[in-house]
Amino acid sequence: YQAKETGKNKYQLYQSNYDQLTRRLKLENDLQCALERKEFYLVYQPQVDISTGRIVGAEALIRWNHSTMGIIPPDEFIPIAEDIGCITAIGEWVMREACTQNVCWIDLGLTPICVSVNLSARQLQQERFVETVCDILAETNLDPNFLRLEITESMMMQNTAASIRTLHKLRGLGVSLAIDDFGKGYSSLSYLKDFPVNVLKIDRSFIQGMTQNDYDKAIVSSIITLAHNLKIKVVAEGAEMIEEVVCLLHYGCDEVQGYSFSKPMLAEDLGELLRIDDPYKAQLEPWTYEPR
Ligand code: C2E
Ligand code: MG
Ligand code: MG
Ligand code: MG
């Protein structure tokens, strides 16, 4: 009777909620030991100087190769790691791994690039966070000029005064700071004044809207001008089409990070790419793409 009354759709709704919940609980449980099982790895997405076409940086992006569920994207497991508190350990692993890898590339004699690492709010709030960064730099022997930390505006909204103090200390170490996904959340122009950042990354929604509407064009060109007036460098995120890159070049954007140049890739493949002089030509090779 009950099945008839509630109907098939309702049953499916319960079923899908149930599936979601069990998946979440499984990920929550398995995240606890993923680090020690060495199930995480990093991929790197090149950041290209738009006027020379040279790779000048790379963003480290985490992947979780789950033993039975395959590759889990960070958008799914990072929020869970934040909830259950293991994000600080994972974040520390990411930073150590990215710094170690960058030193490897430098030791190969390649032109040094700046490696960017994403931070979570919880990491920034840790009492010993600045010391941890300092320790990792010393341990890996990476020149702080070649490490960049990415923060989002929403991270700064909690505990603003303490966060600003932390950011000043990080700048004191010599690392650079970027605001990630700029324009996506509750953007406030005062952030650019109050936060000691060197780089602003324009959110990809604006970049991808540029070829469709003049509003996004106006927003992007205004952000670039504003940032430059404040001596802040601009990276455009998620440029997928050549038309977008042409537009960004015209607006004086400094760097581009997007599929138009390259998807995130394994460290050894980026090493190969760095060896090659002409990244425009190099990006046509299939091995520059992240294996899925
Ligand atoms: P994010 O920091 O904004 O990183 C950029 C994301 O955009 C990456 O997704 C990248 O693969 C994607 N992307 C780059 N170019 C394009 C493009 O042209 N088109 C499209 N459609 N997408 C593009 P990914 O790797 O899935 O990471 C998603 C988010 O997960 C990151 O966004 C970041 O917020 C978070 N994340 C990744 N790694 C870490 C980490 O180590 N620690 C923390 N706390 N968060 C991380
Ligand atoms: Mg980022
Ligand atoms: Mg971003
Ligand atoms: Mg993001």
Model confidence over 42-101: pLDDT tens digits? 999 999 999 999 999 999 999 999 999 999 999 999 999 999 999 999 999 999 999 999
Report the C-alpha gap between 154 and 213 in whole angstroms: 27
Which one of 86, 118, 129, 240 would you pick to mutate in the ligand 1 pocket, going by the greatest count of ligand atoms within 8 A of its CB?
Answer: 118
Q: Which atom of ligand 1 is nearest to the CA of 73?
A: 26
Range in 99-103, 175-179, 188-192, 257-261 the model is least confident about: 188-192
Give 46: exposed, middle or buried? Use CB within 10 Å, 0-12, 13-18, 19+: buried
Angle between helix 214-229 and helix 242-251 axes, rounded to 10 deg: 40
Token pair 């000043």 is at which residue? 168
The span from the CA of 89 to the CA of 35, in Å, is: 8
Q: Is residue 128 exposed (0-12), middle (13-18) or buried (19+ Cβ within 10 Å)?
A: exposed
Instruction: At 56, give phi and psi (nearest 5°).
Output: -115, -10
Which whole number is the average pLDDT over 238-245? 95
| pTM confidence score | 0.92
Q: How confident is residue 258, by pLDDT bands cut at 50, 70 and 90?
A: very high
Q: How confident is the model at residue 143 (pLDDT cuts 50, 70, 90)?
A: very high
* Look-up of token digits 């929604």: 205
Residue 288: predicted pLDDT: 43
User: For ligand 4, a single-atom ion, which residues have Cβ within 5 Å?
Assistant: 181
Please give the C-alpha separations between residue 146 and each of 43, 185, 203, in angstroms, as whole numbers: 17, 28, 23
Cβ–ligand 1 contact at 264 (below 6 Å): yes
- What integer pLDDT is reported at residue 277 of this predicted model? 57
Q: Residue type at 207?
A: I
238 ligand 1 Cβ < 6 A: yes
Query: Does the C-beta of 120 come closer than 6 Å to ligand 1?
Result: yes
Neighbour tally for 121: CB within 10 Å: 17
Nearest protein CA to atom 9 of ligand 1, as residue: 61
The phi and psi torsions of 43 (rounded to 5 degrees) equal: -115, 160
Burial 229-259 (b: 16+ CB within 10 A, else e): eeebbbbbbbbeeeebbebbeebebbbbbbe
Question: Which residue CA neighbors atom 35 of ligand 1 most closely?
Answer: 74
Q: Is a pLDDT exceeding 80 seen at residue 171?
A: yes
Confidence of residue 286 (pLDDT cuts 50, 70, 90): very low
pLDDT digits (tens, 9 = 90+) for 181-220: 998 877 778 888 889 999 999 999 999 999 899 999 999 9
